[in-house]
Structure formats: structure tokens, C-alpha cells
Amino acid sequence: MPVATRGALKLLDASDLDWLRPEVLLANTYHLMLRPGAQLIEEMGGIHRFSGWEGPYLSDSGGYQVFSLSPQVDAEGASFKSVYDGSLLRLTPASAVEAQERIGADIAMCLDVCSALPAERGSLEADMERTLVWAGRCQAAHRRGDQALFGVVQGGTDLGLRARCAKQLVEMGFDGYGIGGLSVGESRPEMLSALAATLEVLPEDQPRYLMGVGDPLSLVEAISMGVDMFDCVLPTRLARHGVALSWEGRLRLRAARFARQAEPIEADCSCVVCARYSRAYLRHLLCVGEPTGGRLLSLHNLWWTGALVRSARAAIVEGSLAGLVGRVRRAWGSAEA
Ligand SMILES: [Zn+2]
């Protein structure tokens, strides 16, 4: 899922989505509830009509952003200051669900408590227990029959807590399951163990969504473990910093070595950018600060990431996923992204 933070992929619009065809687009509830407001989006017909894109949307709960603002958290919710005007606001399980119902995405997420890592087991457990209580409140508050609701597994890097949280959420019964609180500073082996402990419990026949992870190696490794959904700002954020994703790894296109390269970012990439523009031209746009440079790289990076996931799906069917994971590992080395 590409991330349309404020209801748009940065530098792109819905006509780009017509050919990018992401299976789902993520919109951030935190940003949309502050500007323009969930009620306004509802009045304008919901996020699909408002943004001009009729494909599937997932909204997050707003929790991840709120928890990154060091909010005052109590048993009922979190109080925080708006980044826009400093006003004091409150997010509770019920208000997170209400905002998401008004925004009207196809998939809504339960409000969870994301533990900052590293953390003591006691604090991980308290956050996980609160996540479970809040999941129950979100489920009770959720009214829209045309909107799926996903639970979110927490528990940090503690395998027992991960398994317990996943088991209880499955007993409560959600339409799908997010795996939150990973890739937030823990080591790679710790992340993969926590992921494995979670996936062991979550049902294979329901969507399993690894939240906020999207570097190429993590994508294919997690897919090979059984993850179905991802979101990440990486493709568009790197693009705006002049970095193209490729089978050579990251290409920092501002580098002087690209100045006279007539070939596209990647010869066998089937995106509109690689069909038309040279590395030399893209480098020029980036070096002189033309916004089109970041826009074209965003298009390529999103297409490239989507193509990687489609390759993984084909490889699963052909039984050759291990080969693909090896190829990505050789190209991308450590998952540093
Ligand atoms: Zn391309």
C-alpha cells in the first residue's frame, strides 16, 4: 500500500493511480482528522469521492502518529497537541473508529498502543494488555458493515507477549490482523522472531498486515513468512530525496556518474518513467531542484515496489520464492533502508 498521508501520494494524483493500480492505498487518520476533518470528508462523500480515487483504501487508526508525539496516555485514550495549531486533542478507541467510519476507507484499524523499543517486559506487557482492551472497545464501537476492521498485534520483541496478543485478537475475531510495533529500532533478527511468533498464531486464510515495513528485503522475507499486506512511505520518501529503487540497490541519482547515462533507471522496468527518460535527464531535474524529478522517481519507485510484490506472488505460484528472496538479498544486502 502506497501511503497517501493527507489523502494524496506526495507529488502524484489519482490519474497516476489509474496506471499504478495499487491494490490498496493507505490514508492517515491522524492527519485527515485534523485537516480537513473527518466530518468534512464524510460530507464530501467519503475519502474515495473526495480524493477522486475509487480503488480500495485502508485508514490507520491515528495511533502511530499520536504516540510519536509523546502524548499523555491513560486507560481511556491519549491526549496530544495538534501539530497544526497546538490545540489539545484526544484520541480514544471509540473516536478513532468514528473518525475512520466518517473518512470511509474500506479497511479500518483498531487503535493500539505502540511500544517504543527497546522496552522492559513489564511495559511491553502493559501496552499489549491495553491494546487488547482498546481492540474490544473499537470492535464494540464499529458500526459500518461495509468497512472491514482489523485488530493490531503488539508485544514488542517479546515472543510470548506477541503470541498471547495474537491469540486473544483471533478469539475476538477481526476481518484481518495488523502486526504493529516492528521496525521501530529493534535488530533485524529480533524483528523476524517477533514476526514469526505472531504469524504462527494468526490465521493463514485472513489478511496479515505488517505495518510500516516496506524495504525490498523485508518485503520478500516477510512475504515468504506469510505476510500479505504492507505499507511504507519508503518508495515516495526516497524518491523525493533523489533515490531510485533498482536491482542494483539504491541509486542516488544526483551522483556525477549518472550525468551522461542515456539508459533508463532500469532497462527492464515497465514503468512510464523508464520507458521515456534517461538517468542523465532525471539527474539533471534533481540537481536543479525541479519538482518533476521527485515526481518521476516516485512513479518509478512505486511501480518498482509493486512489481517486486507481483514477482513474489508469481514466485509463490511457481514455487520459486526462495530464489527471489536470494536475488533481493544479493541486490539489497543488509535490509538497511
Ligand atoms: Zn521504472
Q: Edge to edge, what strands does the sheet with 208-210 contain?
A: 3-4, 25-27, 57-59, 107-109, 148-153, 176-179, 208-210, 229-230
Assess whether pLDDT exceeds 60 at residue 337.
no
Assess whether pLDDT exceeds 60 at residue 311.
yes
Q: Please report the DSSP string for 42-106 in residue order.
A: HHTT-HHHHHT--S-EEE--SHHHHHTT--EE-SS-EEEE-TTT--EEEE-HHHHHHHHHHHT-S
Assess whether pLDDT exceeds 70 at residue 334.
no
The 10s digit of each residue's pLDDT in 181-212 is 999 889 999 999 999 999 999 999 999 999 99
Catalytic, out of 16, 60, 112, 158: 60
Give the distance (Å) from ligand 1 centre to CA of residue 242: 14
Give the distance (Å) from ligand 1 centre to CA of residue 303: 7
Give the distance (Å) from ligand 1 centre to CA of residue 315: 21
| Average pLDDT rounded to a whole number, residues 290-319 | 98
> Residue 244 has which C-alpha cell?
531510485
What whole-number distance in Å separates Cα of residue 132 and Cα of residue 152? 9
Catalytic, out of 112, 127, 215, 231: 231
Three-state SS for 164? helix
The 10s digit of each residue's pLDDT in 209-225 is 999 999 999 999 999 99
Give the pLDDT score at 275. 98
Give the distance (Å) from ligand 1 centre to CA of residue 296: 9
What whole-number distance in Å separates Cα of residue 325 and Cα of residue 321? 6
**60 is an active site residue:** yes
**13 is an active site residue:** no
Assess whether pLDDT exceeds 80 at residue 335.
no
Lowest mean pLDDT among 44-48, 55-59, 117-121, 159-163: 117-121
Give the distance (Å) from ligand 1 centre to CA of residue 309: 15
Give the pLDDT score at 333. 81
